[in-house]
Amino acid sequence: MRAPEGIGPAEGRAAAAARRRRLLDRAWTHGWLVLGVLVFALPIWITLVGSTHDAATIGRGEVPLLPGHHAIGNYATAWAEGGGRFRTTAAAVMLWNSALMALLIAAGKIAISLLSAYAVAFFSFPGRMAFFWMIFLTLMLPVEVRIIPTFQVMVDLALINTMAGLVVPLVASATATLLFRQFFLTIPDEYVEAAKMDGAGPLRFFRDVVVPLSVTNIAALFVILFIYGWNQYLWPLLVVNDSSLETIVVGLSKMIGTGDAQNEWNTIMATAVLAMLPPVAVVVLMQRWFVRGLTETEK
């Protein structure tokens, strides 16, 4: 490489070496990142490919690397009848159940947490801290550690095999309450004073000032909580055994049974794609809110 004018050959060589080093460094960076992206994408790609071939091709163990021609048939079957050998529940039904459950969980958690955070942040009343700690302590009691007694409560309240049973026990949220309380404390006292001066009561202040100010936080939380709701597994597995209430994540895992090779893997893979699509779309389309929600809820 020729040295630029006015620079001696030694400096020219040094500059060229530095440039080469930078180029190498950049190639190394891109190389590893591309590899990382590929490792992440490989299982998804193979699933997509699997959903476009016929069951026999996959059953013979000849999954190609490129899509086949059976996409429409496979997705139509999975959508209308269900995937796998037994086609227990149509994906359309399971998707509807999952969507309803996820939306209700996210909306319920946000509504309940807004209200309780408002009470804790804007009122002074006996037992305030006790209630606050009670809510906080739910962080330490995930479903997994109280399976049987919680199931007993569900039986006693006749909530087994109901949408309410899927949703209600999951709508308490310590993290959302903590987050909203934190945010409410940053609302200046002057706002409250002004509202009081104008004769606005606490409910009016909540509706006209607090909720509009919280819109950003609500959006960010909604993304996280929707994914949380959609991806529920143990709880629907316990509470629902009626196939008309099956959620798609649990339904999908029931389809594969013990992982037998002689199954309708093409329709199972189509169902898997359908199960992934809504939450992945939410993350990709609302990426900014998603990252914000994630980093804020975990503080």
Partner 1 sequence: MRRRVIFRGKVLPYLLLAPQIAVTLVFFFWPAGQAIRQSVLREDPFGLRSEFVGLENFREVLADPLYLNAVWNTAVFSAAVAALALGAALFLAVLADKQIRGAGAYKTLLIWPYAVAPAVAAVLWLFLFHPSIGLVGRALNAAGIAWDYKLNGAQAMALVILASAWKQVSYNFIFFLAGLQSIPRSVLEAAAMDGARPAYRFWTVVFPLLSPTTFFLVVVNLTYAFFDTFGVIHALTGGGPGKATETLIYKVYVDGVQNLNLGGSAAQSVILMAIVIALTAVQFRHVERRVHY
Q: Of residues 108-137, which lie at the interface with partner 1 (CB under 8 A)? A: 111-113, 115-116, 118-125, 128, 131, 134-135, 137
Decide: is 185 part of the binding site for partner 1 (CB under 8 A): yes
Closer CB to partner 1, residue 9 or residue 124?
Answer: 124
Decide: is 180 part of the binding site for partner 1 (CB under 8 A): no
Smallest distance from the beta carbon of 69 to partner 1, in angstroms? 19
> Among 9-17, 27-35, 70-78, 211-219, which window interacts with partner 1 (CB under 8 A)?
27-35
- What is the rounded CA–CA span in Å between residue 175 and residue 177? 5
Q: Which of 151, 163, 183, 209 binds partner 1 (CB under 8 A)?
A: 151
Backbone angles phi, psi at 218, to 5 degrees: -65, -45
Token readout for 30 is 């891109």
| Tally of CB atoms within 10 A around 33 | 10
Token readout for 224 is 């996280």
> Among 6-14, 71-79, 89-97, 255-263, which window interacts with partner 1 (CB under 8 A)?
255-263
Q: What is the DSSP letter of 51?
A: T
- What is the rounded CA–CA span in Å between residue 57 and residue 51? 11
Q: Which of 10, 66, 72, 145 binds partner 1 (CB under 8 A)?
A: 145
Decide: is 252 part of the binding site for partner 1 (CB under 8 A): yes
Closer CB to partner 1, residue 40 or residue 86?
Answer: 40
Helix (H, G, I), strand (E, B), or coil: what is residue 142?
A: coil
Backbone angles phi, psi at 175, to 5 degrees: -65, -45
Smallest distance from the beta carbon of 252 to partner 1, in angstroms? 6
Sign of CA dihedral 154, 168, 221, 33: positive
Decide: is 50 part of the binding site for partner 1 (CB under 8 A): yes
- How far is C-alpha 156 from the chain's CA centre? 31
Q: Which of 227, 239, 240, 270 binds partner 1 (CB under 8 A)?
A: 227
- What is the rounded CA–CA span in Å between residue 248 and residue 233? 10
Decide: is 169 part of the binding site for partner 1 (CB under 8 A): yes
Closer CB to partner 1, residue 3 or residue 202?
Answer: 202
